[in-house]
Amino acid sequence: MKIENGTFCPLIKKDCVGLKCTWMIQLRGTHPQTGQPVDEWDCAVKWLPMLLIENAKEVRQGAAATESFRNEMVKAHEQNMMAIIASTGEEQTRIGHAGYDYPAR
C-alpha cells in the first residue's frame, strides 16, 4: 500500500487550488535525505520540512568549517610564537598550553 498526500489545504479549508495559489513554488535541487534530484512544483508549506533538513545540514557544515579554520589558526599561532621565541632567544618554558605567553618567573 502506497501512502499518498491528500489535497486538502488547511489554509483555505478546502481542496488545493494548485498553481492559482501564491504559495505554490517550484523547487530545484537535490533532496537532502536521498540525494535524488528535485524539480517539482508544490506548496511552500509542504516544502518546509525538507528545506529545514537542508538548512540544518548546511549549518552543520558551516560549523565544521569554522572549527577547522579555528584549529588551523591556533596551530599557526603556536608555530609563530615558537619562531618568535627561538629568534629572540627567550626561554621556551614561558610558553604554556595553546601557545599563550605567561610572565617569566
Domain-wise residue ranges, the chain: 8-99
| Average pLDDT of the segment spanning 46-50 | 90
The pLDDT of residue 80 is above 60: yes
Beta strands in 1-105 (DSSP E): 8-9, 14-15, 24-30, 37-43
What is the spatial distance between Cα 80 and Cα 74, in angstroms, rounded to a whole number? 10
- Average pLDDT of every residue of the chain: 85
If phi over 0 gives left and psi between -120 and 50 gives alpha, with beta otherwise, what is residue 91? beta
Question: pLDDT tens, 53-78?
Answer: 889 999 999 999 999 999 999 999 99
